[in-house]
Amino acid sequence: MHEKEQILKFFDSTISQYTSDDPFVVGWGSLDSQIVRFKVLADIGDINNCSILDLGCGVGDLYGYLEQTASGIDYYGIDFHPEMIKMAKKKYPAARFENISLEDVHEKYDYVFVSGAFNLLIEDNENYIKNWIIKTHNMAKKGVAINLLSKYAPLDKKYYNLCYYDPLYVLDFCIKKFGKVNLKHDYLPHDFTIHIYK
């Protein structure tokens, strides 16, 4: 199955089971862990008065977090699942959301944030993540923040249909490709975040 079709099918299932107020609709385990992830993403730097592209925005909860914790944000959320975008627009009517892919975005943003959009297990996650890291880096003026599931997650925290990346592999790739990189692996037992700077 094509990667996009596989991802759409997974979220068709979650949308049929959960509301936009339930973090399970976007594949997260709890609201608390979702907020922790958002905080670590936003810790990439001083994001006040910056433009933010939220890739794979789901129902837009990163916007809700940034609205409460930062000022002067120019937020733009994109997701290729049309129902996610409908839910996001209803939940956060003041924000800008579009049902498009990254290839359809034609301007750069100060920061590109990606929260959980690359965690589904597909045929070749290693090449998939490398390609997407390069794409997001090309769209950023200042930096990229991506959170991923870690292969060091406890066994009881792992799910068969999710990809648990080797943080050292991702770090090595990013350092060799971009140079200025920060890895955070200290905030949740099953997660890590990579900050890539321009």
The residue range of the domain holding 59 is: 3-197
Amino acid identity for residue 59 in this structure:
V
Which residues share a beta bridge with 165? 150
Query: Is this structure's pTM higher than 0.85?
Result: yes
| Residue scoring higher pLDDT (121 or 27) | 121
β-strand pairing of 191-197 with 140-149 = antiparallel
Query: Mean pLDDT throughout 122-136?
Result: 91
Find the length of the chain: 198
How far is Cα 38 from Cα 60, in angstroms, rounded to an integer? 12
* pLDDT tens-digit map of 1-19: 476 666 656 555 666 666 6
| CATH assignment at residue 62 | 3.40.50.150
Average of per-residue pLDDT values in the chain: 89
The tally of domains found in the chain comes to 1
